[in-house]
Structure 1
Amino acid sequence: MITLIKNGEIYAPEYLGRQSILLIGGEIVKIGEMNENKLLDLDLEVQLVDAEGSIVVPGLIDPHVHLIGGGGEGGFSTRTPELQLSEIIKSGITTVVGCLGTDGTTRHMTSLLAKAKGLEEEGVTAYIYTGNYHIPTPTITSSVKDDVILIDKVIGAGEIAISDSRSAQPSLHEVGKLVAEARIGGLLSNKAGVTHFHVGPGKDRLTFLHRLLEEYEIPASKLYATHIMRSRELMDDAISLSQKGAFVDITADETTGEWIKYFKENGGELERLTLSSDGNGSLPKFNDQGQLIGMGVASPHTLYEQVTRAVKEQGLPLTEVLRFVTLNTANALCLPKKGRLQEGHDADVTIVNNETLEIEHVFAKGRHMLKDRKTIVKGTFEK
């Protein structure tokens, strides 16, 4: 696979101007001026993509996706379905990280691992966290540390629930031991070894994570808290945590742009902020008594939709917002060849219209997956 993308405005995510990008196999080989005629004279099959009037950006990374579905808080009929390849591609996403949620009984780590491997075979990059809301948490090898070390797709633990009535109400020491296991596993396997925390609406907010940093020998960068936009108080707590070096994540919804501005204006560390979709996870609504009163399903489309809204409606710079779904996420998850348009990096590229920001093309590991706004590569059982 040889692809030349020409005449596009490059955001890597920083602005590089109008340049060409050459993809060979699954790698970005060159960014800059290129002699198209010499390339065609090689007598090799070369795909030319004219990105005139378009913006070329890194493929998005979604660090929190329920690949095999989630939910179930309203009974068996409320379990959400598996995510399909085309839903990922249409969202401009080329890398996903799968997780379990509340249910670690009828959904299994081995099924999540198989789904991630299946998505890899279908064309995107997929990783997973080991565990679910609860501590002790489900694993593949019976050890969080061993899962991270021995299972190629496992890059950390999560999503562990805190400040939520659906958590296992663990002690601080239990949480500290799990974080330490994930971190040691990461050290021994050269992976992120992060622990990804589901933060509920509870009154304790991020108290556990602040105490971990104060009372235990835990590097702040190994804590990664999501759903931080539930309230202003929780966002203030997340800003404080980011200032200590932890990563924090906003689950994309219609308020995302406003929360990004709030985070920025109140001293949040922008290099520690990411966005995720919670794709195919359930969106349960509970009353003050903890009773389920409504249910929805999150969509991976929300991630890029909120990127565009943050730019168009909140006036945030595209270079800044792109970092939250590309480079920052790659740094949080220790994925050195992801999240950036750079020679030698993976050929994950999304092309969007310069005016509307609508997604026009998606390349995942160099393979053309979405062309002229139409999905050309679908999952094995998709029509």
Structure 2
Amino acid sequence: MFTLIKNANVYAPTAIGIKDILVAAGKIVKIENHISADALPDIDVIDMQEKTLIPGFIDGHVHLIGGGGEGGFHTRTPEALLSDLTLAGITTVVGLLGTDGATRHSESLFAKVKALTTEGISSYMFTGGYKIPTNTITDSIQNDIIFIDPVIGLKTALSDHRSSQPTVDELARMASEARIAGLVSGKCGRIVVHMGNSPKGFDPLFELIEKSDIPISQFIPTHVNRTKHLAEQGMEWLKKGGYIDLTSGVDPDLGARGSIKTSSFFKQCKINGLDTSKVCISSDGNGSIPVFDENRALVGIEVAGFGSLLDQFKAMIHIENLSITEALAPLTLSPANMLGLASTKGSIAVGKDADFLILNEDLSIEHTFAKGICHVKAGIAQIKGTFEK
């Protein structure tokens, strides 16, 4: 019934020192310097011995039912498994569709979101995809967001040879519909915009906010670090007050030619005095990593993993010399705010969901707790998905 975490060095993400944390019914109910277990029945006491405790990661861009397919049916990537997420420290996940909106469907994504929720982590989704008019579960973008609980916003694609080449007017109408739905339902109602390699980059988005009354905060441009041109435009977008989402697995050291490492980009934003509270990091996990030649013909394909989130967290600390608090924000509190989940997610506080990670001295993950349940213990998955071995 109760779990008492004792002597944890807590980053909430702000450092608050050595604390005891009492968890009940999946929530954090008390944080104090000392909490006695004597008067509490059925209590599990875990002494952290001053190990670091941080909020669980919020991954706002995951291909939960797989992605890919650019090279034929055999190149469709597989579904994400529960332990793939929890071993990477992900306690809240948001699924979406990618290039393939024909053999992948929002209805199937909804089913996967519900399955992961049943298996113990918090799961949400964006409706839509690359195709325009966009595919929805109900008869409209608005009704998907308003009436389907896990649906928090919309997905589309820009500046990519695989997109539906939407006009600025089409983008404005979709964004408006998602925005109204968000206002009515109390959800974020934002539109995730896949940004491709085209030289157009952010140009359609800059034109849209210039010509329409839709606020810049309505959009979540993602993969912003995939090229230097996008990165430069992304910083301009930040200056104007917009959100941006970086992809942790996009790394020039791992073969992503012309890209900017996430940790380096984030540090540069801080150096430039930009509002890094609107910079988020996601994995693009289980999505495909297609390689195209100069004629845009597919010449190779791989699957994105989830461990890059922790890798970039470490890089921000060990290489870019940022504090744990600074490095945590784009993985926890910032995405919670961007996705409209901050009332329950993104920080260690009384009343919030008991989603947290216990880190070893080298910042590797020792334990993962989601909604107060230990999913990973001593680096080993204790709870697995229904069909995991």
**Aligned counterpart, 2:234:** 238
Contact map agreement 2:281 2:330 (CA 8 A) in 1: yes
**1:13 matches 2:13:** yes
Contact map agreement 1:86 1:379 (CA 8 A) in 2: yes
- How much does 1:112 deviate? 0.1
**Aligned counterpart, 1:133:** 130
Q: 1:168 aligns with which of 164, 171, 189?
A: 164
Q: Secondary structure at the match of 1:275?
A: strand
Judged with a 3 Å threshold, the aligned counterparts in structure 2 of structure 1 residues 134 and 157 are, in CA distance, closer, same or farther, namely same
Partners of 1:41 and 1:266 lie apart in 2 by: 52
Partners of 2:287 and 2:205 lie apart in 1 by: 24
1:65 is matched by which residue type in structure 2?
A: V
- How much does 1:209 deviate? 1.4
Partners of 1:264 and 1:166 lie apart in 2 by: 33
- How much does 1:154 deviate? 0.3
Partners of 1:28 and 1:318 lie apart in 2 by: 21
**1:264 matches 2:270:** yes
Matches within 5 A, 1:190-269: 190-253=186-249, 254=251, 255-269=261-275
Q: Secondary structure at the match of 1:308?
A: helix
- How much does 1:142 deviate? 2.2
Contact map agreement 2:62 2:96 (CA 8 A) in 1: yes
2:367 is matched by which residue type in structure 1?
A: H
- How much does 1:55 deviate? 0.6
**Aligned counterpart, 1:40:** 38
Q: Secondary structure at the match of 2:238?
A: helix
Partners of 1:205 and 1:141 lie apart in 2 by: 31
**Aligned counterpart, 1:309:** 315
1:269 is matched by which residue type in structure 2?
A: D
Partners of 1:365 and 1:245 lie apart in 2 by: 33
Q: 1:152 aligns with which of 145, 149, 152?
A: 149
| Residues 137-178 of structure 1 deviation map (CA, whole Å, 9 limit, x = unaligned) | 1100021111000100100001x1101000001110001100
Q: Secondary structure at the match of 2:388?
A: coil
Does 278-287 or 307-316 show the bigger shift? 307-316
1:347 is matched by which residue type in structure 2?
A: A
1:41 is matched by which residue type in structure 2?
A: A
**Aligned counterpart, 2:348:** 341
Partners of 2:31 and 2:228 lie apart in 1 by: 42
TM-score, length of structure 2 as denominator length? 0.95
Partners of 1:85 and 1:2 lie apart in 2 by: 24
- How much does 1:34 deviate? 2.8
Does 263-272 or 323-332 show the bigger shift? 263-272
Partners of 1:74 and 1:170 lie apart in 2 by: 23
1:25 is matched by which residue type in structure 2?
A: A
TM-score, length of structure 1 as denominator length? 0.97
**1:369 matches 2:366:** no
Partners of 2:386 and 2:311 lie apart in 1 by: 26
| Residues 221-253 of structure 1 deviation map (CA, whole Å, 9 limit, x = unaligned) | 111010001222211111111122221011003
Matches within 5 A, 1:315-326: 315-326=321-332
Q: Secondary structure at the match of 1:283?
A: strand
Partners of 1:145 and 1:225 lie apart in 2 by: 20
Q: Secondary structure at the match of 1:245?
A: coil
Contact map agreement 2:18 2:33 (CA 8 A) in 1: no
Contact map agreement 2:209 2:216 (CA 8 A) in 1: yes
Q: Secondary structure at the match of 1:329?
A: helix
**Aligned counterpart, 1:111:** 108
Q: Secondary structure at the match of 1:6?
A: strand
Where does structure 1 lack aligned partners over 5 or more consecutive residues?
Answer: none
Q: Secondary structure at the match of 2:66?
A: coil
Q: 2:118 aligns with which of 121, 124, 146?
A: 121
**1:57 matches 2:33:** no
Alpha-carbon RMSD across the aligned residues, in angstroms, is 1.1
Contact map agreement 2:20 2:35 (CA 8 A) in 1: no
Does 279-288 or 62-71 show the bigger shift? 279-288
**Aligned counterpart, 1:23:** 23
Contact map agreement 2:317 2:323 (CA 8 A) in 1: yes
- How much does 1:256 deviate? 1.9
Contact map agreement 1:240 1:268 (CA 8 A) in 2: no
Contact map agreement 1:235 1:263 (CA 8 A) in 2: no
Which contiguous aligned blocks of 4+ residues in structure 1 show a shift greater than 6 angstroms?
A: none
Contact map agreement 1:135 1:175 (CA 8 A) in 2: no
Q: Secondary structure at the match of 1:77?
A: helix
Q: Secondary structure at the match of 2:289?
A: coil
Partners of 1:339 and 1:117 lie apart in 2 by: 21
Q: Secondary structure at the match of 1:18?
A: strand
Does 309-318 or 356-365 show the bigger shift? 309-318
**Aligned counterpart, 1:91:** 88
**Aligned counterpart, 1:274:** 280
Contact map agreement 1:239 1:266 (CA 8 A) in 2: no
Q: Secondary structure at the match of 1:209?
A: helix
Judged with a 3 Å threshold, the aligned counterparts in structure 2 of structure 1 residues 76 and 350 are, in CA distance, closer, same or farther, namely same
Contact map agreement 1:102 1:166 (CA 8 A) in 2: yes
Q: 1:285 aligns with which of 257, 274, 291?
A: 291
**Aligned counterpart, 2:304:** 298
Partners of 2:157 and 2:273 lie apart in 1 by: 26
